[in-house]
Structure 1
Amino acid sequence: MNFPDDETGQVLAEMHQAGIDLSQSHDVVFFHLFEQESQAQAMVEHIKEHLPAVKCNLHPDETPNVWDLDCTVVMTPSHEAIVTQEEVLEKIATSFSGYNDGWGIEA
């Protein structure tokens, strides 16, 4: 398989090399960081209302005063699908003063 020459393409290539079947649906987790729990909770509420298929897990980060919001989407992890979903969630996170911190597949 050929993957685009960017960070997402590199991660997908590594997963493919590790034997993950990228033609199947997986739980893809998009990670977001916030300085305040209330900001992260506001994103959770927004997602519940507008993207009910996305599952959210809000928890304290290992770093003090940082909150992690993990957003899980069941999807076939193509480059285009990952980039598109990441852009949607990053736009939402930014509107609540958070930012994207990457993505991964639950193994």
Structure 2
Amino acid sequence: MTRDFEQFPDDENGNVLWQMAEDGDDLTEAHEIEFSIAFQTQEQAEKCALYLLKEEQKISLFEDEEADTLEWVITIYVYMEPEYSDIIDIEEWFTKIAEQHGGEYDGWGCMAYVYDDEDFEEEIQS
């Protein structure tokens, strides 16, 4: 399969989507994509979490004790087809929300269903 650089641009998001396609993942099917925002304080994270809930987003909030510094992470679950331009748009929106609440947008990931001799799942993240 030859890479279409209009569909899969040569950047981190395009590379992840291309790898998913190369692995046999059907990108025309909706996936639950997980976008993350990280915060240094619980208070900042909770304020952002409330904002996201008011925006009708499905989220989880947890304290990441394994990070180098104490960190609170919000994961936003968006059910969508993993299409490059849509991911870019959502990343821009979550980046603005993160900045407004003192956090930092921290990327996305999703479960990719890869079929080989045996069925198994592999998690791919950008």
Common fold: TM-score over 0.5: yes
Structure 1 residue 85 and structure 2 residue 87: aligned?
A: no
Matched, 1:16 2:21: yes
Q: How far has the Cα of 1:104 moved from its partner?
A: 0.7
Structure (1 or 2) with the greater strand fraction: 2
SS of the counterpart of 1:21?
A: coil
Q: Does 1:40 align with 2:45?
A: yes
Query: What do residues 6-55 of structure 1 show as CA deviations (whole Å, max 9, x unaligned)?
Result: 110001011111221111111011011100011111111101112x1x21
- DSSP-derived class of the 1:106 partner: strand
Cα distance in 2 for partners of 1:73, 1:32 equals 14
Select 1:55's aligned residue among 55, 58, 64. 58
- Indicate which of 5, 8, 11 corresponds to 1:6: 11
Query: TM-score, normalized by length of structure 1?
Result: 0.92
**Counterpart in the other structure of 2:78:** 73
Larger radius of gyration: 2
Give the alignment's Cα RMSD to 1 decimal.
Answer: 1.2
Q: Percent identity?
A: 35
Aligned length: 105
Indicate whether 1:101 and 2:106 are aligned: yes
Ranges in structure 2 where 5+ consecutive residues have no aligned partner: 113-126
Structure with the larger helix share: 1
| Alignment partner of 1:28 is 2:33 | yes
Q: Does the aligned pair in 2 maintain the 1:29–1:106 contact within 8 Å?
A: no
CA distance in 2, matches of 1:43, 1:14: 32
Distance across 2 between alignment mates of 1:98 and 1:106: 25
What SS does structure 1 have at the residue aligned with 2:14? Answer: helix
